[in-house]
Amino acid sequence: MESLSNRKKVLEQAPMNFWERIYLPAIFKGMAITFMHMFKKKETIFYPEVEREFSENWRGMHSLKRDENGRERCTACGLCALSCPAEAITMISAERKKGEEDLYREEKYAAVYEINMLRCIFCGLCEEACPKEAIYLDGPIVPADYLRKDFIYGKDKLVEAPLN
Amino acid sequence: MELAFVIEKFVLITVVFVLTLLVAMYSTLAERKIAGFLQDRVGPNRAGPFGILQPLADGAKMFFKEEIIPTESNRFLFIAGPSLAILTACIGSAVIPWGQKLTFGDYVVDLQVTDINVGILYIFGVVSLGVYGVMIGGWASNNKFSLMGAIRAASQNISYEIPMGLSIIALLMVTGTLSLKEISEQQSGFVNWNIWYQPLGFLIFLICAFAETNRTPFDLPECETELVGGYHTEYSSMKLGFYLFAEYINMFVSSAVMATLYFGGYNFPFMYDLGLSENWITIIGVIMLFAKIFFFIFFFMWVRWTIPRFRYDQLMNLGWKVLIPLAIANIVLTGIVITVKDLL
């Protein structure tokens, strides 16, 4: 059939000559190439000792942010949990009591806030969904662990350290 | 005298056995290191400095892993397979001459476990037996992939034994003896190495050695892309370790055979011109033999990380349509040259 796009190229393959057919020169050429690689610079980064620099839009472990007065920004609206495609986020909200104004910025806060790091796909949708700028994926690589239950990160691991 | 002889042979066998295992053990590390170097990586480097404890860690892992024997398998043969594989791999090194004589006072130690007059045939027989381990293990697993791998191993080894034997026949026409000791002695110096008389024979032998040890590019019996794990799909724990280990021992033994048959064995250039005492010549000779062996082991690994695996029909084509005619042509050529040389 005629080519419609006129971009079709007829590949011309000359029959292999004697040296090409016994393959040995090609094998030696390949072996010379691999041998030269022994003396090339190694690309390995020795991970725990040396860390590669993260790019600006790197998404790592989540952190729950505090505002300029050191109060937790999260108001437990649940938008992050709703937006999460992996259903990794769960939370239980609570009402702020009198005297707790220096702990929580909004009148409602997350008493329990858990992210299952085994489910999380680090897509960053929670970060985009958050109306209070409370959650960011600006942490390091989530470390390995032995038990599944240790991958459910609570507020103790997620909330930023207090200001002072 | 009788007791001294028994002790001498016992010590020699132990040393050779331990050396074989040691070399095979560190070949596993060398393989991974060389794979790393050829791919711009560094290879294992965590267990000890430069990873030199890695083989021990691997061995410990193999011992502590759970041992699974499939219920539908033939239990006796399932265990016999890897045992046979490692046994045949280990006994091959018995006839290799590691060096000349060492003299202690008036006691002379021959650095060869046994000098039987059909040394090459012995090695050939042991190598042929090696396929039984693979075959039995693959069959006893009661697994389609294992059986396919075992059948491939059997047909591949049978196909490549023929050109290997034919290439050795051409070599025997030059040497006139089957004893490895005498073949080594004939190659004294540098110009007498058999590689200068039998370059084509060596090439055929080398290719067949790759096929006999199931190394890439002929590792179809354990071809991961088609057969999961090939003949050792169902194996776990140290039985798997034995199969993998047998491959490295085979590699060591076939390197030693190649060095002995074609590259002068323990001979090195100018060995009698340096004015050294006989014992020193022997010791340097042993070191030179091991240098040659290590080069071949490196060559095995170098090829493995360069050349992709053959397709099955290509493998058979190469064996039956290329190597066998070439080996026969080599025999005829050698015969003509020897006859003409005798006439002159």
Sign of the C-alpha dihedral computed for residues B134, B138, B144 and B145 taken in this order? negative
* Better-predicted residue by pLDDT, A18 or B271: A18
The predicted pLDDT at position A146 comes to 92
Q: Is the pLDDT of residue B49 over 80?
A: yes
CA distances from B175 to B134, B193, B225 (A): 33, 11, 43
- Per-domain boundaries in chain A: 63-158
Check pLDDT > 70 for residue B229: yes
Q: What's the token pair of residue A64?
A: 């729950």
> Quick check: B38 and A44 CB within 8 A?
no
> Please, which residues have CB within 8 angstroms of residue B188's CB and are 6 or more apart in sequence?
B264, B267, B271, B272
Q: Do B38 and A35 touch (CB under 8 A)?
A: yes
Question: How confident is the model over A62-67, as a mean pLDDT?
Answer: 90
pLDDT > 70? residue B1: no
Q: Is the pTM of this model over 0.90?
A: no
Bigger pLDDT: B277 or B156? B156
Residue A94 has pLDDT above 80, yes or no: yes
The per-residue pLDDT for B195 is: 84
User: Which amino acid, B118?
Assistant: V
Do B306 and A42 make contact, defined as CB atoms within 8 angstroms? no
Q: What is the mean pLDDT of residues B160-184?
A: 87
Does position B109 have pLDDT exceeding 80, yes or no?
A: no
Torsion, CA B317, CA B323, CA B324, CA B325, rounded to 10: 100
Tens-place pLDDT, residues B139-155: 888 888 888 888 888 88
Mutating which of A18, A21, A36, A37 best tests the B interface, going by the most B Cβ atoms within 10 A? A37
Q: State the average pLDDT over residues A6-29.
A: 83
* Residue that is written with structure tokens 């490196």 in the block: B298
- Minimum CA–CA partner of B304 in chain A: A31
Closest by Cβ to B40, choosing from A31, A35, A37 = A37
pLDDT at B220 over 80: no
Residues B149 and B230 sit within 8 Å (Cβ to Cβ)? yes
Token pair for residue A49? Answer: 């000792």
- The reply to whether CATH 3.30.70.3270 applies to domain A63-158 is yes
- If you average pLDDT over every residue of chain A, what do you get? 87
**Would you tell me which residues 21-80 of chain A have a C-beta closer than 8 angstroms to some C-beta of chain B?**
27, 30-31, 33-35, 37-38, 40-44
For residue B163, say if its preceding peptide bond is cis, omega within 30 degrees of 0: no
Contact B42 A38 (CB under 8 A): no
DSSP structural state of residue A133: S
B237-280 pLDDT, tens digit per residue, is 888 888 888 888 988 988 988 888 888 888 887 777 777 777 88
Query: Which pLDDT does position A164 carry in this prediction?
Result: 65
